[in-house]
Amino acid sequence: MLASRVAMHIPDGFLSVWLSLALWVSAVVILGYALRRTNRALGERHVPLMGVLSAAIFAGQMLNFSVTGGTSGHLIGAALATALLGPWASIIVMSCVVAVQALVFQDGGLLALGANLVNMAVIGVAVAHFAYTTSQRLFQRKPWMLTASAFVAGWLSVFVASLACALELALSGTSPANIAVPAMAGVHALIGIGEGLITAGALLFVQAVRPDLVQNRASTSSTTGNETRAVWVGGLAIAVILTLIAPWASSHPDGLEWVAEQHGFLGNARGPLYQIIPDYLVPGIADERVATVLAGIIGVVIVSVTAFSVGSSRRRRNTTGDATA
């Protein structure tokens, strides 16, 4: 059974073993390089932001919104993370989210995890970074620059990631390219509009309450304890609120599941090797809404602690390297 709450998480069985292994290797190599780059560029203000963003993105991905045609979509978050953290730290944040979803919530296959990391944490971030920085150069000094850049980055990150997924399906022989590509492109062109609007709205909100996070994302200047606490409290409060309303998310199938249903390869999906909190429902709790909220809170805690821990270790290594240089 496919998880019904997160789009473009490929289950095992959709991709060939060899392609899955190749994408696993690619994901590990790129993530390793991103860790090295983050080690050199990570500022003190970025560490709490990595934890908070990972929590908010995880919670946001549980909130599917209906799209015309009986499908649904939701925030992926690559563009939002890239706008606030830059590309390398964003790859780490997105990798933490996608990995926890697969390992703890059985959302996406273990063999297909490399593909999901490449599509969302690498391609999504790379496209968002290119689109965001290019749009800002084109729209510079325009009052609507931030809104337009965020929307373009959000839309393109979803659209191109969906094309990558479609090509992977075609290379695996799951669905011919002349079917998979237009089907995935069509539904995710619509889902991308939601991504763009959410990204723009989120960045406008951040600019209103903490403009320094938007305007000086590359700054490595220190932050005060009050600023750090404000980021943690505000960000985690938003993540908890999103989690509390997750039970009322759209029940329509996500983009990939809808395409698989329409074109006859949904049956290829293989069940998980094990189950911890499958389908974002804590086992043993009869009330599905309560089970969903508890699952969301557990996920928020795990991804935020994971991303914060990685960021802290990178920051300590960077500080130690500077001290011994």
Reply yes or no on whether the pLDDT at 225 is more than 80.
no
- Classified as helix, coil or strand, 292 is helix
Reply yes or no on whether the pLDDT at 5 is more than 70.
no
**What proportion of the chain, given as a percentage, has pLDDT over 90?**
61
Name the DSSP letter for residue 119.
Answer: I
Q: Which residue has the tokens 């980021």?
A: 231
Better pLDDT: 33 or 319: 33
Q: At what angle do helices 288-324 and 46-60 cross, to 10 degrees?
A: 160
Residue 6 confidence class, pLDDT cut points 50, 70, 90: very low
Residue 286: burial class (beta carbons within 10 Å; 0-12, 13-18, 19+): exposed
CB contact at 8 A, 147 and 204 = yes
**What proportion of the chain, given as a percentage, has pLDDT over 70?**
86
Give every CB contact of residue 87 below 8 A, 6+ residues apart in sequence: 34, 125, 126, 129
pLDDT digits (tens, 9 = 90+) for 285-317: 999 999 999 999 999 999 999 998 888 876 565
Residues listed for the chain:
325
Q: Taking the model in full, what pTM does it have?
A: 0.90
CB contact at 8 A, 16 and 172 = yes
- Classified as helix, coil or strand, 262 is helix
Residue 56 confidence class, pLDDT cut points 50, 70, 90: very high
Q: Which domains does the chain have, with CATH numbers?
A: 17-319 (1.10.1760.20)
Better pLDDT: 67 or 86: 86
Distance CA 215, CA 226 (A): 20
Among the residue ranges 151-155, 178-182, 196-200, 206-210, the one predicted with the least confidence is: 206-210
Give the per-residue pLDDT at 88.
93
pLDDT digits (tens, 9 = 90+) for 153-194: 999 999 999 999 999 999 999 999 999 999 999 999 999 999
Q: How far is CA 291 from CA 53, 285, 294, in A?
A: 23, 6, 5
CB contact at 8 A, 138 and 176 = no
Better pLDDT: 317 or 206: 206
Residue 324 confidence class, pLDDT cut points 50, 70, 90: very low
Residue 2 confidence class, pLDDT cut points 50, 70, 90: very low
pLDDT digits (tens, 9 = 90+) for 105-128: 999 999 999 999 999 999 999 999
Phi, psi of 133 (to 5 degrees): -70, -40
Nearest CA-CA partner of 38 in 312, 324, 281, 285? 312
Reply yes or no on whether the pLDDT at 97 is more than 80.
yes
Reply yes or no on whether the pLDDT at 229 is more than 50.
yes
Distance CA 179, CA 172 (A): 13
- Classified as helix, coil or strand, 67 is strand
Q: Which amino acid is at 314?
A: R
Nearest CA-CA partner of 57 in 87, 88, 97? 97
Phi, psi of 72 (to 5 degrees): -145, 165
Nearest CA-CA partner of 4 in 217, 192, 278, 314? 278
Distance CA 145, CA 312 (A): 32
Residue 253: burial class (beta carbons within 10 Å; 0-12, 13-18, 19+): buried
Nearest CA-CA partner of 78 in 69, 87, 67? 87
CB contact at 8 A, 8 and 185 = no
